[in-house]
């Protein structure tokens, strides 16, 4: 079972990445102006888009913590999934498509890059910052995943904002390596088309990451089941209860990071009174919540026959 910090869904990793990207975007903008490089301009737009994306994620996390009300009786937990999906779309449209457009334009009208020292220095500086941010993401992912495999955790985790930040930072590191390679190739060969190819490659990377993130977040947005560990827990607790003959059905829905809705149908002993059934259900709920506090809503229906 992973050690996902479902009940301590903070924003530290988002704020850290936002600060890093503001510094990087500003420095890249200076380098793009000084060199006239398409790759540098693509990287500048990418970093400024990342800043906007992280701002949207902060909005999503804040909205997801709003208390439930009459209009939204199960709370606003899925807000973070909506804004995470929007970030993936922006990464695709602003970051990826603009980089490809810039690459195609520069390839058709190649220009020599100038003052490469500025660009390389700033790119190395940016790579160090992005590398540190990505490393911090990996450390937090490792803490949350526990014994779960890294790739498996990324595919199954319900903390969409953490995965979006990791995807952005990883794409940024790869994009910076591509930009450095393209600039050096364009400078030493005197062929500006290498710089254009770098911009195209960066766009492809961003679009690939955006598609991956959008697919993962879409599943959460439309209603994904909770971690299978929770279903296993319910089965074990049902087996322990002498009043429960069979767990007929258990449906879970992830309502947001650290928020699970659970609907259960159980087959009870036929000789139980209404009071005994109520006491059994209360104990069953308490046993589940004590071991899985992320389960915030539990609806249990007792029955004497199989569910069809």
pLDDT digits (tens, 9 = 90+) for 246-283: 999 999 999 988 899 999 999 988 888 999 999 999 99
Per-residue b or e along 67-80, where b marks 16 or more CB atoms closer than 10 Å to that residue's CB: eeeeeeeebbbbbb
pLDDT of residue 7: 42
Cα(189)–Cα(191) distance, integer angstroms: 5
pLDDT at 8 > cutoff 60:
no
pLDDT score of 232: 93
Q: Which of 132, 7, 102, 25 is nearest to 64 (CA)?
A: 7
Q: What is the CATH number of domain 228-303?
A: 3.30.70.1350
**Extents of the domains making up the chain:** 12-222, 228-303
pLDDT at 71 over 70: yes
pLDDT of residue 298: 95
- Residue 172 DSSP SS3: helix
User: How far is it, in rounded angstroms, from Cα 110 to Cα 163?
Assistant: 37
CATH class of 12-222: mainly alpha
Q: Do the domains 12-222 and 228-303 sit in the same CATH topology, yes or no?
A: no
Whole-model pTM over 0.85 = no
Q: Strand 295-303's sheet: what is its strand order?
A: 244-256, 259-268, 295-303
C-alpha distances in Å from residue 196, one per residue of 35, 109, 117, 199, 202: 13, 9, 18, 5, 10
Written as six digits, the tokens of 107 are 């390839």
In terms of Cβ atoms closer than 10 Å to its own Cβ (0-12, 13-18, 19+), residue 170 is middle
Answer whether 162's CB lies under 8 Å from 216's CB. no
């Amino acid at each position: 079972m992973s050690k996902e910090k479902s009940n301590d869904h903070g924003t530290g990793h988002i704020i850290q990445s936002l600060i890093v990207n503001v510094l990087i975007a500003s420095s890249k903008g200076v380098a793009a102006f000084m060199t006239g490089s398409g790759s540098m301009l693509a990287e500048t737009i990418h970093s400024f888009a990342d800043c906007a994306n992280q701002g949207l994620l902060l909005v999503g996390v804040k909205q997801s913590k709003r208390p439930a009300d009459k209009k939204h009786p199960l709370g606003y937990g899925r807000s973070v999934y909506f804004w995470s999906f929007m970030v993936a779309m922006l990464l695709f449209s602003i970051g990826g498509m603009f980089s490809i457009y810039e690459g195609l334009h520069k390839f058709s009208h190649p220009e020599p890059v100038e003052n490469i020292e500025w660009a390389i220095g700033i790119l190395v500086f940016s790579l160090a910052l992005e590398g540190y941010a990505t490393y911090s993401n990996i450390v937090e992912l490792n803490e949350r995943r526990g014994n779960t495999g890294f790739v498996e955790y990324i595919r199954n985790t319900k903390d969409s904002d953490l995965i979006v930040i990791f995807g952005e930072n990883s794409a940024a590191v790869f994009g910076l390596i591509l930009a450095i390679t393209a600039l050096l190739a364009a400078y030493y060969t005197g062929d500006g088309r290498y710089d254009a190819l770098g911009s195209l490659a960066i766009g492809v990377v961003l679009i690939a990451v955006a598609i991956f993130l959008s697919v993962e977040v879409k599943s959460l947005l439309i209603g994904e089941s909770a971690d299978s560990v929770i279903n296993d827990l319910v089965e074990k607790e049902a087996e322990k209860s002498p009043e429960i003959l069979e767990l007929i059905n258990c449906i879970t829905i992830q309502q947001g990071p650290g928020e699970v809705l659970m609907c259960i149908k159980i087959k009870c002993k036929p000789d139980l009174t209404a009071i005994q059934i109520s006491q059994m259900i209360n104990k069953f709920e308490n046993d589940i919540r004590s071991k899985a506090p992320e389960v915030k809503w539990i609806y249990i229906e007792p029955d004497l026959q199989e569910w069809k």
